[in-house]
Amino acid sequence: MGRKFFVGGNWKCNGTTDQVDKIVKILNEGQVPSPDVVEVVVSPPYVFLPVVKSQLRPEFQVAAQNCWVKKGGAFTGEVSAEMLVNLGVPWVILGHSERRSLLGESNEFVGDKVAYALSQGLKVIACVGETLEQRESGSTMDVVAAQAKAIAERIKDWTNVVVAYEPVWAIGTGKVATPVQAQEVHSCLRKWLATNVSAEVAESTRIIYGGSVTGANCKELAAQPDVDGFLVGGASLKPEFIDIINSATVKSA
């Protein structure tokens, strides 16, 4: 049983009710492969989650873009994993580089979040990735391994985890890791999982790529053996997201 291709759309902090209606219409009308070929998850801002979930075609799922690190309570402005479960939201994105850099979320904090979200029954898209300085200094794998280690130390079961490799220098910049660069890190990450978690987890865990993925570059990236899908930012708000979903056929061909 191979790893099912996974395409996530991270809408980030974008959208009005009208824009959301338009995006959902595009998604609902798009011709895409069947759910046994590709798993599709879209992640609107919290405030739009219920409306998107209610209007979206049933085979597409929704994800929150973040959640709190423990049970809810006196944490103004936060949303707990329990609330997401209560709303029937199955997925959450954790450790996105924008939250790591802008909000100072440490590897340990992200690891705690992943563990708590899983414990409440959520599935997690866990993000890792290096900055331009880190890549240029040759420490990409050290950085990514440290981020993965903070998660691996806190969880036992990886069944409901998708790892998203997002080189920070490629997010929203138009710079894309070449297919060779992406494959290299994905392969190293898989080897790290084999050595530090288990061969089984390494083989079954999906490692997806994020960082200026477009309709134009997705097929070449999808053809790489260790690239199991995408976490798409800006392009997930546009019709080309359908093209990116369709790149799953590269794997099943």
Domain ranges within the chain, ordered by starting residue? 5-252
Indicate which residue of 96, 98, 105, 240 is catalytic.
96
Task: Quick: pLDDT tens for 175-200.
Answer: 889 999 999 999 999 999 999 999 99
SS (HEC) of the chain: CCCCEEEEEECCCCCCHHHHHHHHHHHHHCCCCCCCCEEEEEECCHHHHHHHHHHCCCCEEEEECCCCCCCCCCCCCCCCHHHHHHCCCCEEEECCHHHHHHCCCCHHHHHHHHHHHHHCCCEEEEEECCCHHHHHCCCHHHHHHHHHHHHHCCCCCCCCEEEEECCHHHCCCCCCCCHHHHHHHHHHHHHHHHHHCCHHHHHHCCEEECCCCCCCCHHHHHCCCCCCEEEECHHHHCCHHHHHHHCCHHHHC
Q: What is the pTM of this model?
A: 0.98
Q: For all residues of the chain together, what is the average pLDDT?
A: 97
Which option is the CATH number for 5-252: 3.30.70.120, 3.20.20.80, 3.30.1330.20, 3.20.20.70? 3.20.20.70
Indicate which residue of 39, 130, 166, 240 is catalytic.
166
Question: What are the tokens at 179?
Answer: 């297919």
pLDDT computed for residue 155 by the predictor: 98
Question: What are the tokens at 39?
Answer: 């798993």
Is residue 186 annotated as part of the catalytic site, yes or no? no
Task: Quick: pLDDT tens for 108-143.
Answer: 999 999 999 999 999 999 999 999 999 999 999 999
Task: Quick: pLDDT tens for 51-79.
Answer: 999 999 999 999 999 999 999 999 999 99
Is residue 29 annotated as part of the catalytic site, yes or no? no
